[in-house]
Structures are given as C-alpha cells and as structure tokens.
Amino acid sequence: MKILKYVLLAFAGVGVLFGAVAAYVAATFDPNTYKPQVIQLVKEKKQRTLKLDGDIKLKFWPSIGADLGKLALSEFKSEAEFAAVESARVSLKLMPLLSKQVIVDAIEIKNLKAAIVRGKDGKLNIADLTGGEKKADAPKADGGAVKIDIDHVTLENAALTYDDHQAGSKYALSKVNLKTGRIASGVPGKIDLSFLAQSDKPKLNLEAALKTGLMFDLDKQHLVLDGMDFSAK
C-alpha cells in the first residue's frame, strides 16, 4: 500500500531530523539554554518551526544522546502543526563517534501524531524531510556505503493520517505500536507491530498485528522476512 510507503518515509524523515537535533543538543553542557539556537537551526535548514516544550535531558554513557521531551514540528513554510510527540529519545553509540562514524543506538518515541498530505499536484508535505524535492541535485556518495546500525526502535501509541487530495481518500492509522530488535545490514532482527487502520474510500476498519524476523542487505538490495505471524480482524 502506498500509505505504508509514505508512513515509512515520514518516520525516516522525522527520525533523521530528531536525531540531528539530539546530536546537536548532546554536544552542549546545558541544552535547555540553547533551545532558541536549536529552533533557529531547524527554521533555517528546514523552514519549519520546532517547538521544544519539555526539558531536554542528556545521556553520555554508554551512549550519547538526548531525551527531547515534548516537542512539535510545523508544516513546511507554515505554522500549522505537522507532527508532535509526547516524548522522544535518540541516542548514538559513543565509541564509533571517536572514529567519525554516526551509528544510532536507539530511537524511542511516545504518542506520535502526524498528518501526511498529498496535494492535488501530487506533492507530499514530507518531501523536504525525505529529500524528495532534491533528488536531481543530490550529491554523490564519497565512496562509502550508507551505514545503518540501530540497536532498537520503539514507537508507542502513534497516530497518523494520510489525506490524498488527488484520489479524494483519507486513511488513518492509530494505536500504532512498534518494537524492533537490532536493525543492521546482514544482521538478523525482529519486528513486533500492531495497528488499527481505517479509511473511507475504500471502506476499511482493520485491526492487525505482525511479528516477523527481518534481515536485509543494503549492498545487494535484498530483504528477507522470516517466521511471519500476521493476524487481522
């Protein structure tokens, strides 16, 4: 389903942005003092308004990262809310940083709410977060492959909507709960996902749960799902 593709792109875009914010504030002694600079940085780089309503708490060992607390992100070049979370924690593995490698240790997000919109012109409101607007001008890699190595991802009680103005349809995912094991190329992992999916066109009211093993190879562009257990009603 296209909605799952867009949801994954949204997660990736928001996750990268929140990860960048966490990495920035983790490098400061008192990150709460630097909230205005972080907000201004997001405004300049992404042309979106970031709200940091909670206290930022740092963690330095064995991983370096930040608990960002309650935050919200606006739409592109607008003050309308695009996404909000009750709490978000992103941490980076410390030792690889010493050799200039950025490896995400954990991503934990609670009560995420986001609205994905596809306009009548076919453009998505997450294009700037996923790089969709700059594919033609994207710089070439400097020889190294993209390294993905995440210890775990936790998403608790998320709710997302997808409004397709071209097709005149609207989808909603709620009660989304996701837990993963390690996510790394060539390393067996696992996924535990449950959600409630609803739509008006076509009519849909589906409660589903999925548990599966997962292994992928970025170089070969190969994905394997093992021992899949899927239930729906």
Distance from C-alpha of 88 to C-alpha of 219, rounded to nearest angstrom: 31
Distance from C-alpha of 152 to C-alpha of 179, rounded to nearest angstrom: 7
Output the tens digit of pLDDT for each of the chain's 233 residues.
566 666 666 666 666 666 666 556 555 557 788 789 989 999 999 999 999 988 888 776 667 778 888 999 999 999 999 999 999 888 877 766 666 666 778 899 999 999 999 999 999 999 988 765 554 444 444 444 446 788 899 999 999 999 999 988 999 999 999 999 988 888 899 999 999 999 988 899 999 999 999 888 877 888 888 999 999 99
- The answer to whether residues 43 and 126 touch, using CB atoms and an 8 Å cutoff, is no
* Long-range residue pairs from 87-90, CB within 8 A, at least 24 positions apart, any chain: 87/54, 87/111, 88/18, 89/22, 89/65, 90/15, 90/18, 90/19, 90/21, 90/22, 90/23, 90/65, 90/66
- The answer to whether residues 106 and 63 touch, using CB atoms and an 8 Å cutoff, is yes
> For position 138, what pLDDT does the model report?
42
> For position 176, what pLDDT does the model report?
95
- The answer to whether residues 195 and 219 touch, using CB atoms and an 8 Å cutoff, is no
> For position 49, what pLDDT does the model report?
96
Q: pTM to 2 decimals?
A: 0.73
Closest CA to 53 of 63, 65, 64, 38: 38
Distance from C-alpha of 112 to C-alpha of 94, rounded to nearest angstrom: 27
Q: Which residue has the tokens 């490896």?
A: 103
- The answer to whether residues 7 and 116 touch, using CB atoms and an 8 Å cutoff, is yes
> For position 195, what pLDDT does the model report?
96
* Long-range residue pairs from 141-147, CB within 8 A, at least 24 positions apart, any chain: 145/218, 145/219, 146/218, 147/101, 147/103, 147/185
| Tokens, residue 192 | 């535990």
Summarised one tens digit per residue, pLDDT across range 72-81 is 999 999 999 9
98 φ/ψ angles, rounded to the nearest 5 degrees: -65, -25
